[in-house]
Chains A and B, each alone.
Chain A
Amino acid sequence: MREVAIVGIGQTKHSGHRDDTFQDLVRETTKLVLEDAETTIDKIDAVVFSMAPDALIGTVHAERWIADTMGAQGKPCMRVNTGGVSGLSAVQTAFYHIASGLFDTVLVIGADRVGEAGDAQTILNRIWDPIYERALPLNTITMLAMSAIRFMEKYGATEEHMALVSVKSHNNAMLNPRAHIRKPVTVEDVLKSRMIAYPIKLLDSCPKSSGGCALILAAKDKVKSFPNKPAWIRGIGHSSETYWMGDRVGRKLDSEHGDHADSIALTRAAWQAYKAAGITNPRKEIDVAELYAPFSNIELHAVQDVGLCDYGEAHRLLEKGYFDIGGEMPVNPSGGVLCANPIAATAMIRVAEAAQQVTGRAGEHQVEKAKRALATGIGGDHQFFGAVVVEAD
């Protein structure tokens, strides 16, 4: 299996509504990554596109609408959809293209315009089973609020801890010129913000963002023809849980099948990635993590599930600044999903940010001496999970 590196990174400034079209957005993102890698579209062998629900963009098979704007014409092109983790699954797909020996250089790109359809949650409600669950107001916020309830009871975390995650994320976003939301908040601001679905409040929640992200991946023997320091993809993992949230509570929850407070599939995905990367002690061997967390409480379970701290310790360590940029284990130095969530691109942004960190290109939110980073993604009804470990020399 060939070694694969990220040799180009492109990311738009994420924002609310944009006046240009989805095609323009994808084209801008493609140009950014080609510029970054100092290359042209004809040097790309294949294109992988990340896109989660079509309904957010309002075009069925949106990948076809924009195929020309990402240089897919004349090339093999594939869309990946694993819900919110699509962006990271797309990177993994591009990795497989190259590692297999079948392609040398692959462009992987995702873009979204959440908010174009008005209420994104009206669309996301359609994830749930039409027969038993859809008539009930399930959406990603209620789903993750229910995870928060179980998490808080299981580990003793509180709404104040959720607020601390939000404060850290917003402070970090002030150092990330591409973040959508760049406004510091205090614990009091978060606790006083509008209650959406108990215990999740407005300032515990991700924004509805528009934006794009793209990477160029290359095989080892092609890496020298690109100007940037390569970020090597050393490990990838992917796992899923049961679709049925009612199975993640109740009885007969064994170590195989997990609890809605946590995510056993995220743990599996992370350890697949660690194993491939030769990591046995992630707390010592990972320098920084970009963990997918669209609501503040999710970051707390994620950091435990990927083994960066003990179960029950996340909220205590958070209080001590352990996960700050200057802390022992910086988590989401970019501001994370809480400060930018253009859904189809979001999990790819985690990989892009991880790659920037290990190659010293993270600008003001750079974690000093970061050499190895973990990126994760979550999709569907907390069902699909992916992890990537990147490393630079």
Chain B
Amino acid sequence: MSDFKTMTEKWDLTYQHALGETAGRFFEAIANEKKLLGKKCPKCSRVLVPPRSYCDRCFEDTADWVEVGREGTVQTFTVVFQAFKGLPEPPYCIAYVLLDGADTAILNYIRNVDWTPDNVPQQIKAGDRVKVVFAENREGKITDFWFEKIG
């Protein structure tokens, strides 16, 4: 019976998003070749990772595919300690990493570190080097890889 003060409603939506040619190729290279690809702007030469079909600064279509390194430098990060509905169980770290050869940073988890609210600055800082680790079973999604600290 209602409490006559509130009512509950749930949304349950499933989307079938088109990936487009560029993202499709990016995920295929990860799943089938364990390669990370960026796309280069013909005008400003930035290597965009993850790749886009256009460069938003130059308003030009991107053309060339470029393989980037499997190691990179942390640009910024955060470590989450709060649970949010539908988001993972904390603690976890996400970071923007500039892979060697890329001009833009890509976001993913930094895994295999024991995080506490007090040890964060000791465990990670901007400028740290990380390496890409691929999942055994890859599905063609951004979660097919993550980062781990080097050294």
Write the residues of chain A forming the contact surface with B, with a CB cutoff of 8 angstroms.
Answer: 19, 55, 58, 118-119, 121-122, 125, 130-133, 135-139, 141-142, 145-147, 149-150, 153, 194-200, 242-247, 249-252, 256-257, 260
Instruction: Provide the bound-state CA to CA distance between A19 and B3, in Å.
Output: 12
Among B49, B57, B102, which residue has the most Cβ atoms of chain A within 10 A?
B57
**Which residues of chain A come closer than 8 Å to B126, judged between CB atoms?**
149-150, 153
- Whether A136 contacts B142 by the Cβ 8 Å rule is yes
Instruction: Provide the bound-state CA to CA distance between A195 and B79, in Å.
Output: 9
**Which residues of chain A come closer than 8 Å to B88, judged between CB atoms?**
137
Q: Which of A119, A135, A149, A251 is B77 in contact with, Cβ under 8 Å?
A: A149
Instruction: Provide the bound-state CA to CA distance between A153 and B74, in Å.
Output: 13
B residues contacting the other copy or chain, number (CB 8 A) = 48
**Which residues of chain B come closer than 8 Å to A137, judged between CB atoms?**
80, 84, 87-88, 92, 94
Shortest CB-to-CB span from B117 to chain A, Å, is: 4
Shortest CB-to-CB span from A259 to chain B, Å, is: 10
Shortest CB-to-CB span from B122 to chain A, Å, is: 12
Binds A, one of B15-23, B59-67, B129-137: B15-23
- Whether A252 contacts B46 by the Cβ 8 Å rule is yes
B120 at the interface (CB under 8 A from A): yes
Q: Which of A19, A58, A256 is B9 in contact with, Cβ under 8 Å?
A: A58
7 contacts between A and B (CB under 8 A): A130-B17, A137-B88, A142-B80, A197-B80, A197-B82, A244-B104, A246-B49
Report, nearest first, the 4 A-B pairs whose CB atoms are least far apart.
A249-B75, A145-B78, A195-B117, A246-B105
Known: A135-B141, A242-B56, A245-B107. A196 touches B80 (CB 8 A): yes
- Whether A138 contacts B143 by the Cβ 8 Å rule is no
- Whether A250 contacts B80 by the Cβ 8 Å rule is no
Q: Give the residue name and chain of the A residue nearest to B27 (CB).
A: A131
Q: Give the residue name and chain of the B residue nearest to A200 (CB).
A: B78
- Whether B84 contacts A119 by the Cβ 8 Å rule is yes
- Whether B86 contacts A119 by the Cβ 8 Å rule is yes
- Whether B87 contacts A122 by the Cβ 8 Å rule is yes
- Whether A198 contacts B120 by the Cβ 8 Å rule is yes
Instruction: Provide the bound-state CA to CA distance between A183 and B49, in Å.
Output: 45
Shortest CB-to-CB span from A369 to chain B, Å, is: 41
Known: A136-B142, A198-B79, A198-B120. A122 touches B85 (CB 8 A): yes
Instruction: Provide the bound-state CA to CA distance between A132 and B117, in Å.
Output: 28
Shortest CB-to-CB span from A188 to chain B, Å, is: 15
Q: Which of B5, B85, B98, B117 is A251 in contact with, Cβ under 8 Å?
A: B98
- Whether B104 contacts A246 by the Cβ 8 Å rule is yes
Further 5 A-B residue pairs, CB within 8 A, beyond A121-B87, A136-B94, A249-B104: A135-B142, A139-B84, A149-B77, A197-B81, A260-B76
- Whether A250 contacts B142 by the Cβ 8 Å rule is no
Q: Give the residue name and chain of the B residue nearest to A147 (CB).
A: B76
Q: Give the residue name and chain of the A residue nearest to B106 (CB).
A: A246
Instruction: Provide the bound-state CA to CA distance between A19 and B20, in Å.
Output: 45
